[in-house]
């Protein structure tokens, strides 16, 4: 049990230990061994307010059990995630106009089983919006795709077929990194990240971590002067492993 300052404690306050030290002492007392496989351990914060490319570099250092050699970006678009990166990445997109390495549908990937150490996925985020021509929404967020009433105006139905393929092309212990945003549509909160986690679990992935990426301003259609939901100023980077366990 963890103990910290409490009114019932009889220790003088100067003798109280910081929580981290208390935990460390208890772990030692309970003979809990710290993992030794990461020699260059650098902590990773659960909140990120920088560029995706920079975060991605840290994720690729942090989660794979060995340096990833084969990386697939399954929605590469203009390749902004890899600007300045020295990694060798196969970029795939369904739109030939983005000039990806491979033009293909990520629900039917032209790769053999267990080909990749890491798959990166940044699906179109907000269907049927983005009429504001002054912003480059279409390019940055893949808003060219629309979703029908039958699919509840969401992209959630596209997750299972992608996840089946991602699972197939990943090596055992491989990592799936997904950037995903919830949004408001039709006056309702659309829980894209929850849908994705559920679909990934059903496909056999183990959900391992979640990083909240924050942005300075919300993404909004200016036609909404008054909103009855909070303005979205964050999205998630979700981390999955093709494994029985995360660590």
Ligand X SMILES: C[S@@+](CC[C@H](N)C(=O)[O-])C[C@H]1O[C@@H](n2cnc3c(N)ncnc32)[C@H](O)[C@@H]1O
Binding-site ranges for ligand X (CB under 6 A): 75, 77-81, 92-95, 98, 105-107, 122-124, 141-142, 145
Helix (H, G, I), strand (E, B) or coil at 182: coil
Write down the least CB distance from residue 101 to ligand X, Å. Answer: 12
Q: Which is nearer to ligand X, 16 or 94 (CB)?
A: 94
Give the separation between CA 72 and CA 230, rounded to whole angstroms.
Answer: 34
Write down the least CB distance from residue 117 to ligand X, Å. Answer: 19
Give the separation between CA 164 and CA 199, rounded to whole angstroms.
Answer: 9
Write down the least CB distance from residue 14 to ligand X, Å. Answer: 52
Q: Of 193, 228, 188, which is closest to residue 212 (Cα–Cα)?
A: 193
Q: Which residues pair with 71 in a beta bridge?
A: 89, 118
Residue 156 CA: distances (Å) to CA of 150, 159, 171, 174, 191:
12, 5, 25, 23, 9
Q: Which is nearer to ligand X, 22 or 233 (CB)?
A: 233
Residues sharing a CB contact under 8 Å with residue 127, sequence separation 6 or more, in sequence order: 143, 145, 146, 147, 153, 154, 155, 185
Q: Which is nearer to ligand X, 25 or 148 (CB)?
A: 148
Q: Which is nearer to ligand X, 24 or 104 (CB)?
A: 104
Q: Which is nearer to ligand X, 106 or 147 (CB)?
A: 106
Q: Which is nearer to ligand X, 78 or 204 (CB)?
A: 78
Write down the least CB distance from residue 210 to ligand X, Å. Answer: 18
Q: Give φ, ψ of 62 to 5 degrees.
A: -90, -45
Write down the least CB distance from residue 75 to ligand X, Å. Answer: 3
* Nearest-10 crossing angle of helices 192-203, 159-169: 40
Q: Which is nearer to ligand X, 117 or 165 (CB)?
A: 165
DSSP 83: T
- Joined tokens for residue 99: 């000039």
Write down the least CB distance from residue 82 to ligand X, Å. Answer: 8
Write down the least CB distance from residue 200 to ligand X, Å. Answer: 16
Residues sharing a CB contact under 8 Å with residue 112, sequence separation 6 or more, in sequence order: 169
Give the separation between CA 143 and CA 129, rounded to whole angstroms.
Answer: 7
């Amino acid at each position: 049990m963890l103990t910290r300052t409490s009114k019932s404690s009889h220790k003088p306050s100067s003798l109280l230990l910081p929580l981290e030290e208390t935990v460390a002492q208890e772990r030692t007392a309970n003979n809990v061994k710290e993992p030794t496989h990461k020699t260059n351990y650098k902590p990773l914060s659960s909140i990120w307010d920088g560029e995706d490319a920079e975060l991605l570099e840290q994720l690729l250092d942090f989660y794979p059990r060995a340096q990833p050699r084969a990386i697939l970006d399954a929605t590469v678009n203009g390749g902004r995630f890899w600007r300045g990166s020295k990694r060798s990445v196969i970029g795939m997109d369904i739109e030939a106009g983005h000039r990806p390495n491979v033009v293909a549908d990520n629900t039917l990937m032209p790769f053999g089983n267990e080909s990749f150490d890491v798959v990166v996925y940044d699906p179109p985020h907000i269907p049927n919006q983005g009429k504001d021509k002054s912003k480059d929404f279409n390019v940055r967020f893949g808003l060219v795709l629309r979703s029908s009433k039958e699919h509840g105006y969401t992209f959630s139905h596209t997750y299972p077929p992608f996840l089946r393929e991602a699972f197939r092309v990943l090596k055992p212990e491989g990592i799936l990194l997904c950037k995903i945003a919830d949004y408001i549509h039709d006056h309702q909160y659309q829980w894209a990240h929850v849908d994705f986690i559920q679909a990934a679990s059903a496909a056999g992935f183990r959900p391992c971590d979640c990083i909240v990426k924050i942005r300075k301003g919300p993404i909004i259609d200016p036609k909404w002067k008054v909103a009855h939901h909070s303005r979205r100023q964050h999205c998630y980077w979700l981390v999955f492993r093709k494994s029985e366990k995360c660590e």
